[in-house]
Each structure stands twice: as structure tokens, then as C-alpha cells.
Structure 1
Amino acid sequence: MDRRALASYRPTKPEVAVFVSGVTSMGLEILAVRIVAPQFGSHIYTVGGILTVFLIALSLGYWQGGKRASLATNRQMSWIMLATAVYVGIVIYAGDLLLAYTSTLPLPPRYASLPAVIALFGPPTYLLGFISPYAAELSQKQGVGEASGHVYALGTIGSIVGSAATTFVLIPAMTIETIGLLFGFVLVATAVGLTLPGLPRKPTMASVAIAVLLVVAAGVSPVALDHRGDIVYEEHTAHQHLEIVDNGDERTMYLDGSRHSATDLSDPDRHVFTYTRYFHLSMLAVDDHQDVERVLFVGGGGFTGPQDFEQRYDATVDVVEIDPAVTNAAEESFGLEENEDLNVYAQDGRQFLENTDETYDVIVLDAYKQDQVPFHLTTVEFMELASDRLSDDGVLYANVISAPSGSGSEFYRAQHRTMETVFPDVYSFRTSPSSAIQNIQVVATNADSDLSQADLERRNAERDLGVDLADAVDNRMDYPNTDDAPVLRDDRGGVDELLDPMLGQRYVIEETDGSGSNGTLEPDVEPESPTESDAATTPGLSAVPSGVR
């Protein structure tokens, strides 16, 4: 098509319908990840399940639409658009209830999200699949090949627009409900356009009714009691679903449905999550904690750990948090204040280390999740980079979510073996007496340290850290058997397979007793599988909860 022909080109009604169906189907597919992830997690099984359901539904729609295409009319496509808009309204209104109900079905964890994805997104995607064969039948192009190629091109262009707009524009700027409402209105407007200029009575009345239904669905949601407490802030960021929840005096940050930080509003010095107190083990591993001048945290969350270090030690603390919205929430709800001793960088942790010229005495790696570990932060190449950025006697501290033994320990043992290929000495500390999935703290030293249990006990007694780590030292683990564990490398995948045995297993987060004491600990068990959780809280980064900060 030359420039003059392109300038004078006016799309036909079927062509507009194909373009809109492409925009909407791909937009819903991107949106599905954000809707389903808080309940079932954003691991490969959830994302892969969404892709599979959408492709199956579209294929069935293409097939059935092709069989009925000989009877296609613009009015029929209008009704298909309206029916799809109705189902989008159902997704907006009852999506959370459908997610909670389907999460209780007794399915293996890797398949747990499929019923929800099928129920929420199968029907509208199936309906949208009818549009392309109908449009090909109504096309003004000469020949089947030209008509089909034209329709496929328009649909693909629409999919590109829907994918890019939803990912880079809509999700960062709008709520899930607003985006769904926008898609619904686009479908209704297209349905009306397909009937112009006649505006038949039934389609017109139906369009108005469905537009009202969409507004009501977006403005009113089913009332459900949230056992976690009062949601005081909520945002769908470019990376995840962020919530701040108050339950009595405890304020908790949830990311994709799982707890990542907590603070006691009545006792800010209390370490709500036990393992954040274990961060100070790094100060027992260095030769002299008073010589620690610079600390790096990879992963900020609510910044409870970084703020604690900045207040306790005469050191500069740098924090790399990839999600700026999380940092903003920490400033608003967790008292974060940047100053000359506490610096925040909105970057990927590995990219930051590759580009910085700073040398750190301690690096705290707190970016792992149980079901979604940043692979590039686990490999031997990353460990070598971290070692290069540490001082000669520096310490790398990693919060690893895993079981201490058994099938759920595969990732921990692989991470331990990977770290010991780079660092002379590696020590591990469990945070729970149980054998369940928990926060295992792995400490690696850049110099030969050969610290015995007695050495750690003596340093804990002699060093004025303001934190008693006696129980943490007592929880030191024996050296794991890593003979069958792989060394993680950039050019070799494998983390997903290592995490797979943990799906569905219980995850225990230890908390202090609430009195401000760091002594007696009670396990706070976070439900793991859909069969163990209740309707309001089934985790997804919660069928497989992630780590906490």
C-alpha cells in the first residue's frame, strides 16, 4: 500500500472489531497475571497456565467461529462484543471471590491456579476468538488468502497495542478495576459502532445496560472480612501488588499477598520477624564490627533491616530496591527517611553491583522469594561479583527461603554449594526448630574465618550490638550434604526445578513474642497449599508464599 493509499485508508467495521479483539484479548492476558498472582503466585506454573488457557480458549473460538462464519454479520459480532463485556464485568465484580473459591479445590499446587484462570478468562477469550473468522468472512479483500492475512495482521497489531499499553501505561497508572472497566467500555463502544448508523433498539438498550453494569461492578465489590486486618494502603505497582495492613499494633507490608515487612507501632525497636534480627549475625562474622563502614542491602521491602543497621552502627547503608513504589510505601508507612547515612537506589541488585565502584564490608542479600527467585542473583558469577565488591574480610549474608533438609532443601543446598565455590567459609543458621520451609540465613566470609560455635558465642557476649544473638548462634546448622546439589551458573537454568519441591509445603515464619523480647519464639505458620488456607488468605505468592523483609 503506497503512501497516498495509506492516507486515504478507512478501516471497515469488521476490521475495527478484529483490532479491538486483539487489544482486549492480549490486555486481559497481561491483566490476568496481576489478578491471579496475589492468590496463587507469579511463578512459572501460574504464568504458563495463563498462557495455556488463553491459547486454548482462542483456538476454540477460532474453530467454532470458522464453522459459523458463513452466517456472520456485523450485528452478530456486536452481540459477541457485548457478551464479552458482560463477562469482563463479572471479572471486575466477583474475581476475588472466584479466586478464593477455586483456591480451596484439592489440586496439586502447580495446577492450583488453572480452575481460576479457566473460570475468569476462558469464556471472554473464547468469545473474542469468534471475531477473526467472522471478520475474514465479511472482508472486502479478494480471495481467502488475502482476507485471512489481512485479518491476522490487524489482530496481531491489536495484540501488540494491547500488550504494550497494558504493561507500560495502564497497569502503572490505574487499578485493576479501572483497567477492566476501560476494556469493558471499549467493547461496548465497538459493539455500538458495529450497528451504526441504524442503532437497532435491542443492541442499543443492551449496550446501555451493560455500560451501567460495568460501572456498578467497578464501584461495588462483595463485602469480605479480611482476617489480616485493615488495609490502609493498596497499589498495583509495575512489579507487584502492594498492600499495607494494620492488625492491632502490627503494620505489615504484603507484596503479591505475602508478608514482606512488619513493624510494631507501639514498640518500633521490636523485630517482629525473627530473621530480621538474625541480620546482625553478619556483625559477628566480620573481624571487628566497629570497622564496618559501608553496608549494602539488596532488597528493601519495608526497610526495617536497613533502618536498624543505620541506627545501630556507625556505617553508611546503601539499599537497592527495584520497585520505587515499595520505597515510597516504606517512607509513608514504615518511617523510612533517606539521609547521608541511608541511601536508596531504584535498580536491579546485580546491575548496581556491576556499575558501582564502592567497596562494602557487609552485603545483605534479601531479594529471594520462595516461589520466584531472581536467578541472576543466585549464580556463581553473581557470587564472584559480590566477592569483588566486598572488602578483604567482608561478609555476604543471604536470606534463603527453603527447608533445612529433605526434598524442600534442594535450593538451599544448591545455593550453599554455589557460595562455597567462591567464599572460603560458609555458615548457615535456621530460624525455626521445625523442618518446614523457613528463612535460612547463610553467611559467607570473604576471608578464611573458620569460626567455631565458641567463637560466635564469645563475639556475641563481647560485642555491644544491642541485639542478643544467643539463640541465633545456637541455631547454627551442620554443614549440609551438597554432593548431589548443582552449582548455579548464568548459562544453566535450574532454579525453578529446585524450588518445585517446595510447592505446597508449609512455610513457617518465626515471630518474637510481642513483648519486645527477642527470646522466646513462636512459629507463625503461613498456609502453603490451597487445601490448607482459608478463603480470604490462600497464598499465591501465596499458594507459595515468598520471603519477608
Structure 2
Amino acid sequence: MDGRSLATYRPTKPELAVFVSGVTSMGLEILAVRIVAPQFGSHIYTVGGILTVFLIALSLGYWQGGKRAALATNRQMSWIMLATAVYVGVVIYASDLLLSTTSTLALPPRYASLPAVIVLFGPPTYLLGFVSPYAAELSDKQGTGEASGHVYALGTIGSIVGSGATTFVLIPAMTIDTIGLLFGLILVATALGLMFPAFPRGPTVASVLVAAMLVVAAGAGPVALDHRGDVVYEADTAHQHLEIVDDGDVRTMYLDGSRHSATDLTNPDRHVFTYTKYFHLSMLAVDDHEDVDRVLFVGGGGYTGPQDFAQRYDATVDVVEIDPAVTDAAEEYFGLERGEDLNVHAEDGRQFLRDNDQTYDVIVLDAYKQDQVPFHLTTTEFMELASDRLSDDGVLYANVVSSPSGSGSEFYHAQYRTMETTFPDVYSFRTSDANSVQNVQLVATKSETDFTRADFAERNAERDLGVNLEGAVDNYMSDPDTSDAPVLRDDRGGVDGLLDPMLGQRYVIEETPDGEPASSDEPDPEPVLEADSAPATTPGPDRPSLARRA
């Protein structure tokens, strides 16, 4: 097709149907990740399950559509478009209910998301699969080969548009429900276009009713009481689902359904999550904490750790947070104040270290989740890069989500062994007496130190950090047996397989009691043991309330 014919090209009705089916099928596939991840996590099994279900549903649709293609008409395709739009309305309105219901099924954790994906996205994808063979049958192209190739090309172009637009335009700018509404209305408009210029009464009335249903579904979602508290802010960012939830005096940031940061609104100096207090163990590992001039946090979240370091020490704190929306939420809801002592960089942590020759005394790695770990921040190559950016007696601190031993400890052991390949000494501290999945803290020193528990206790007593670390020092662990653990490398990280045993396990986060000050000379009180809201068991939020609610 030359330039002149391309400029005057007008798609036929079957061609329009194929293009729109490609746009919506791929758009729904991208959207499925954002809908399902807050409930079941965004690990490889969730994403792989979504891809598998979509491909199976499309294949079944192609097969059944091909068998019935001899009877295909534009009117039949319009009914397919309307039926798909109806199911998109179901997804908009009832996704939370369907997700929470299917999550109770007794399935191995790696397969837990499959029922939800099948129920939510199997039927509409199956229906869209009918469009391509119908369009090939109705094509005005000469020969089966030419007609099939034309349909495949248009469908693929539609998929490219749907994937790119949903990923780079729609998700950053709109809520999940609004995007679903947009796809539904596009399907309704296509159904009407397939009937143009004649508008039979039945399909026309149905189109109006379906459009009205979509608007109602997007604007009046199911009433649900969020057990976590009052959702004061909610958004889908380019990277994850972000929520700010107030439960009494405690404000918590949730990322993809998991708690990430928390602050006490009546006592901002309190370390709500005990593990954030452990960050200060890095100041016991350096030669002299008063000589610490620059600290880097990889991962910002609610910025509770970076702000605490900036206020407590005479040091400049750099924070690398890949998601700008998270930083914006921290400014709005967690009191983040940027300044000369606290600098924020919106980029990947490894890229920042690679492109920046700044030397740091302490690097705090706080970018891991229970079900999703950026593998490129775990490997030997990353550890060598971090070591190059540390001062001679610098410290790398890693907040690892894992079990200290037994089932669920594989990632901890692999991370420990990988850090040992670069750093002379690595120390680990558990944050809970339970052997559940928890925040295990690793402290690696660039110089040889050979610290014992007594050494850490002595330094804690001698140094005026303003933070009571007695409980953290007491949780010092002996070196784990890592003989069977792999060394993580860029070319064969294998992190997802190491996280697999933790799927479905209870993630325990210790919390300090209400009213505990940030600094104290008294030992830590008995901790409050609380399980994180695991994505596989926690109902999702009332998604229609995505606007800010003060």
C-alpha cells in the first residue's frame, strides 16, 4: 500500500472489529496485572498465570470462532462486542469480591491467582477470540492466505496500540475503573459502528443499556468496609498500586497490598515498624558514627528511615526511589521535606550507583518485598558496585524479607552468601522471635571487622545514637549454613525460585508499642507481633474510591 492509498484508506467493518479486539484484549491483559497483583502479589507466577489464561482463552475463541465462521455476520460481531463489554462491567464492579472469594480456595500459593484470572478475564478474552476468524470470513481479500494475513496484521497492530497506550498513557493517568470504562465504551461504540448506517432496534437498545451499565459500574462500586482502616489516598502508579491507610493514629503506606512504611501521627518520632529502628545498626558497624558524612537509601517508601537519619545525624542523605508517585505521597502524607540534607532521585538504584561516582559511608538497601525482589539489586555484580561506592570502612545494610531458618529461608541464605563474596564480614539480625517470614537485617562491612554480639553491645552502650538498639543487638544471629545456597549473579540470579517457598506464608512485622519514644535508655518493651496483610488473603480496597478522600 503506497502513501496515497494509505491516506485514503478506510477500514471495513470487519477490519475495525479486529483492530478493536486487539486493542482491548491486550489492554485488558496489561490491566489484569494491576487488578490481580494487590491481592495475590506481582511475582512471576501471577504474571505468568495471566499470560497463560489469556493465551488459552484466545486460542479457544479462535477455535470456536473458526468452526462457526461460515455463518459470521457484522451483526453477530456486534453482539460479541456487546457481550464482552458487559463482562468488562462485571470486572469493574465485582473484581474485589471475586478476588477475595477465589483467594480462599485451597491451592498451592504459586497457583493461587489462577482461579481469579480465569473468572475475571477468561470469558471476555474468549469472546474476543471469535472476532478474528469471523473477520477473515467476511474479508474482501482474495484467497484464504491473504485474508488471514490481513486479519493477523490488523489484530497485532491493535495489540501493539492496546499494550503501549495502556502501559504508557492510561495507567499513569487514570484509575483502573476509568480504564475499564473506556475499554467497555470502545467496545459498545464498535458494536454500533458494525451496524452503521442501519441501527436495528434490538442491538441499538442493548448498546445503550450496556453503556449505561458500564457508567454505573464505574461510578458506584460495591460498598465494602476496609478492615485496615480509612483509605485516605489510593492510586495506580506506573510501578505499583499505592494506598495510604489511617488506622487510628497509625498511617501506613501499602504497595501492591503489602505494608511498606508506617508513621504514628501523634508521635512522629516513634518507629512503628521495629525493623526501621534496626537501620541504625549500620552506625554501630562503622568506625565512628560521627564521621559518617553521606548515607544512601535505595528505596524510599514513606521515607521514615531517610528522614530519621537526616534529622539524627550530621550527614547528607540521598534517597533513590524509582517511583515518583511514592515520593509525592510521602511528601503529602508522611511529612517528607526535601532539602540540603535530604536529596531524592527518581531512578533505579543500580543505575544511580553506576552513573554516580559519589562515595557513601553507609548504603541502606530497602527495596525488597516478600513476593517481589529486584534481582539486579541482589547479585554479586551489584554488591561489587556498591562496594566501589563505599568509603574504606563503609557499610552496606540490606533489609531482607525471609525466614531466618527452615522453610522460607532460601533467599536469606543466598543473599548472605552472595554478600560474602564481596564483603569481608557479614552480620545478620532477626527482628522477630518467631521463625516466620520476617525482616532479616544484613550488615556487611567493607573492611575486616570480626564483630561479636558483645562488640555490638559495647558499641551500642558507648555511642550516643539516641536510639535504643539493645533489642536489635540481642537478636544477633550466628553465621548461617550457606553451603547449599547459590551465589546470585546477573546471568543466573534465580531469585524468583528462592522466593517461592515463602509464598502463602505468614509475613510477621514487629511493631513497637504505642507511646514508645524514638530514643530511650530503657530496654525495648515486649514487641507487638502482627502479621502483614498478605496479598493472597487480604480483600482488595474499594477500588471505585480512587480519588483522594481526606
- TM-score interval for Structure 1 and Structure 2 normalised by the shorter chain: over 0.9
1:387 aligned residue = 387
1:483 aligned residue = 483
Give CA deviations for 1:337-378 in whole Å, capped at 9, x if unaligned: 000000000010000000112100000000011111100000
Contact residue 192 and residue 207 of structure 1 kept, 8 A: yes
When the two structures are aligned, how many residues end up with a matched partner?
Answer: 536
Distance 1:144 1:359 in 2: 65
Give the deviation of 1:492 after TM superposition: 1.1
1:312 has 2:318 as partner: no
Distance 1:22 1:172 in 2: 21
Structure 1 counterpart of 2:484, one-letter code:
D
Give CA deviations for 1:87-146 in whole Å, capped at 9, x if unaligned: 000000111111111111111111110110000000000000000000000000000000
Give the alignment's TM-score, normalised by structure 1: 0.96
Identity %: 80
Structure 1 counterpart of 2:55, one-letter code:
L
CA distance change for structure 1 residues 528 and 237 in 2, over 3 Å: closer, same or farther?
closer
Give the alignment's TM-score, normalised by structure 2: 0.96
1:114 aligned residue = 114
2:425 aligned residue = 425
Structure 2 counterpart of 1:115, one-letter code:
P
1:251 has 2:248 as partner: no
Distance 1:502 1:393 in 2: 34
Distance 1:83 1:183 in 2: 13
1:198 aligned residue = 198
Contact residue 96 and residue 539 of structure 2 kept, 8 A: no
Contact residue 104 and residue 534 of structure 1 kept, 8 A: no
Structure 2 counterpart of 1:336, one-letter code:
L
Distance 1:267 1:174 in 2: 35
Give the deviation of 1:7 after TM superposition: 2.1
Q: Secondary structure at the match of 2:226?
A: coil
Give the deviation of 1:535 after TM superposition: 4.5
Equivalent in 499, 522, 526 of residue 532 of structure 2: 526
Give CA deviations for 1:380-415 in whole Å, capped at 9, x if unaligned: 110000000000000000000000001211110010
1:46 aligned residue = 46
Distance 2:307 2:533 in 1: 29
Q: Secondary structure at the match of 2:457?
A: helix
Give CA deviations for 1:225-281 in whole Å, capped at 9, x if unaligned: 111000000110000000000010000000111100000001111000000000000
1:547 aligned residue = none
Contact residue 99 and residue 540 of structure 2 kept, 8 A: no
Map 1:324-363 to 2 at 5 A.
324-363=324-363
Q: Secondary structure at the match of 2:27?
A: helix
CA distance change for structure 1 residues 534 and 241 in 2, over 3 Å: closer, same or farther?
closer
1:545 aligned residue = none
Give the deviation of 1:2 after TM superposition: 2.0
Moved more, 389-398 or 366-375: 366-375
Q: Secondary structure at the match of 1:120?
A: helix
- Structure 2 unaligned blocks of 5 or more: 518-523, 542-550
Give CA deviations for 1:468-514 in whole Å, capped at 9, x if unaligned: 10110010001000101111111113111111111111111000011
Give the deviation of 1:197 after TM superposition: 0.6
Contact residue 18 and residue 155 of structure 1 kept, 8 A: yes
Distance 1:378 1:199 in 2: 60
Q: Secondary structure at the match of 1:408?
A: coil
2:168 aligned residue = 168
2:521 aligned residue = none
Structure 2 counterpart of 1:291, one-letter code:
D
Contact residue 258 and residue 535 of structure 2 kept, 8 A: no
1:303 aligned residue = 303
Structure 1 counterpart of 2:35, one-letter code:
I
Structure 1 counterpart of 2:333, one-letter code:
S
Structure 2 counterpart of 1:438, one-letter code:
Q
Distance 2:95 2:301 in 1: 27
Distance 1:3 1:291 in 2: 68
1:208 aligned residue = 208
Distance 2:7 2:289 in 1: 71
1:236 aligned residue = 236
CA distance change for structure 1 residues 536 and 491 in 2, over 3 Å: closer, same or farther?
closer
Q: Secondary structure at the match of 1:340?
A: coil
1:269 aligned residue = 269
User: Cα RMSD (Å) of the superposition?
Assistant: 1.2
2:86 aligned residue = 86
Contact residue 300 and residue 327 of structure 2 kept, 8 A: yes
Q: Secondary structure at the match of 2:367?
A: coil
Structure 1 counterpart of 2:312, one-letter code:
R
Structure 2 counterpart of 1:524, one-letter code:
E
1:95 aligned residue = 95
